[in-house]
Structure formats: structure tokens, C-alpha cells
Amino acid sequence: MNRKKSARGASVLMSVLILLGFLLLSVRSGSVTGLILSASFFVLILFSGFLSRLLRADRMVLTLTLFLISLGVMVRMAAAEEVTLASLLPASGTLMPMAESLLPAVCLPLIAFLLSRRQMLAAFGCVAVCAGGLYAMGCAGSAVVFSLVGVFLFWSGSDSPAGIFYPLFALCALLILLFTARPDTEGVLTVWRDPWAARETEAMLPRSLTMIASGGLFGIGPGMNASVLLSPDSPWLTFSAMAQQLGLIFACLILLLYGVLGLRGAGIASAARTSFTALSAMGASLMITFRCIVSAGGAMGLLPSAGLPMPFLSGGLSLFGDLVLAFIISHASSVNRRTLEEDAAIAMVAR
């Protein structure tokens, strides 16, 4: 009962925050779009418990997903000079962000299935093909993140912990390839070592650090001065824009929410009865967590900038892959719940 009350209170708090943010932007810009979005996201988050029962999804995963998506829409709405539904979408017509996020999300269940059947060589080949495809598309950061997830899945699905050395060796070879074969790697490392030397260029890190520093601890307020620094073609700067508008403290709290989402996925994976369900849920949770770490670390200058969008928060075409990952975790929770119901029914019959 206390857990249900806590979940309901968290849903109410998140929905009120989103409602107030959208209403503030609507009043400031005089746009009806903000009023429509505020009402829509307020209802979705407030009634996330009903939606979770209707969709047979995990309530915590659904609530956090809706909150992060709505927060990202609010940040992009605040950064748009003219608030329309079209201004909240990426201006570029390329499908690369969707392919970059969908490819790992679709390959994860296949890898989990192969590992659950102890088809290690086939699973290793699937990881190599997916990582190689991401690298060929120019998504070196996604290739590294997916390789790290593959290493953890191999370690979890291996009968012996020594099996992790094979994917580790492959990951090291991939990292060496990424840092030697790509022509832009040296430039990324140079900007990371001294970002202010590249502040006159189009590099992301100087712009990101400027946005975060100008916001301070408590931010400059939603919609204040963000349109100059954030464009619809730069979804990887959404975290920086959020830190500028709402403050570094609020941005750190959002990172904690990502940690809660990852721990929830890990808990669902540990409660699974089958290897396939456990590995698929764990892989999706790790994918979201690692992408958050790499994206936020790159935005704050703690890691070399990989240009990865924040899961759910950055929105755009990459949101398709993020939703697939959330669906995988929710499906695993639904399977666990159905298994418990079957066990309870069997126990009743046995009595």
C-alpha cells in the first residue's frame, strides 16, 4: 500500500511540474500549442497507473518515460523561436538518428535469445555485425556503447566468467579501430582536452559548457535565452539546454531519475524466470544507462563528446529506439507478473 501511495505521489508531482512548466511557456509565448501539450502530458502522467494496467506495462517505467519525454518537449519548446508542433521536431530530413537508435534496440532481443540458447558464436557475430553497422554509419559512440552492453550480456549469459575475455578482446580491438581509423577522432580528443580553444568553431563541447555555466545552480528560467544556442538539428544539446534553463541541481536530479529507471530494469531482469527475459531486460536497461552516462558526460566535458542524444529527453527520431527499449523492459515486467499469477493459480489448485 505504501508503495502504491509513493508511486501515485510521484506521478502527481511529475505531472504538476510538467503542467506548470508548459503553462509558464504558454503564457510567455502566447501560444496555444503549449496549452494543448500541458493538458496532454498532465493527463498522461497523472493517469499513468491506469495506462500501465491498460497497456500491461510497468508503472514506474511508463511514468518515468512519459516524464522525460514531456520534459524534453518542454525544453525544445522553450528553445524554439516560434512555438509550433513542427518546431519540436528535427529540421533535418535524415533518418540516421532513428537507425542509430533502432538498430541496437532490435538486435538486443535477438542477442538475448541466442545467449539463452547458448549460441555464443552466433550471439558474438550479431554483436559484431550491429556494432560494425553503427560504426559504418558514422555512429562510433553508439558502437562503443552497444559493445559494452554486449560484454555485460556475454558475462551474464556465460556459464563461466572466463567467457567475458573473448568479448573484452573484441571490444578492445573495436576501440583501437575507432581511435585510429576515424579521421575525426583526433579532433574530438583535442576539443575534449581544451574545449575553450575551439570555442569559435562548430564543436559541441564549448557550446554545451557555455550553456551549463550560464544556467548556474538554479537556471535562468524556461525559455530564457535558449533559442540562440539550441537548434532543432542539435538534439544532443537538449541536456545542456535543460541545465541552462532549469539549473544544474535539477539536471542532476534528472540523472538520478535515469538511475532509478536503470535500477528498475535491473530489478525486473533479476526477477525473471527465463534467461531470455532476464537478458533482454538487462540489455535494454544497460543501453539506456550507458547512453545517459556517455551523453551527459560528453555534455559536461567529463567524457569525449560522442554526440549521443539523451534517451527520451532529446526526442526526435531517436525516440523510436528509446521507446522500443522501454517496451522491452515493460514486456519483461509483464511476463514476470503473469508468471506470478500462474504460480498463485497453481498454488490455489494444489490446496
Q: Domain-by-domain residue ranges, the chain?
A: 1-89, 91-351
Which is more confidently placed, 101 or 165? 101
Query: What's the confidence (pLDDT) of residue 264?
Result: 93
Q: C-alpha cell of 31?
A: 501560444
Neighbours of 339 (CB within 10 A): 15
Indicate if the pLDDT at residue 316 is higher than 70: yes
Residue spans of alpha helices (H) in 30-82: 32-46, 48-55, 59-79
Cα angle, residue 135 at apex, residues 133 and 137 outer, rounded to 5°: 70
Read off the pTM.
0.88
**Per-residue burial over 134-169, b = 16 or more CB atoms within 10 Å of its CB, e = otherwise:** bbeeebbbbbbbbbbbbbbbbbbbbeeeeebeebee
**233 pLDDT band (50/70/90 cuts)?**
very low
3-state secondary structure of 26: helix
Q: Which residue, among 62, 83, 57, 54, has the nearest Cα to 15 in the 3D structure?
A: 62
CA-to-CA distance for 278 and 116, rounded, in angstroms? 9
Q: For residue 215, what are the CA distances in angstroms to 85, 192, 249, 262, 326?
A: 26, 21, 10, 27, 31
pLDDT tens-digit series, residues 26-62: 777 677 777 787 888 888 888 887 788 877 788 889 9
3-state secondary structure of 276: helix
Q: H/E element holding 196?
A: none
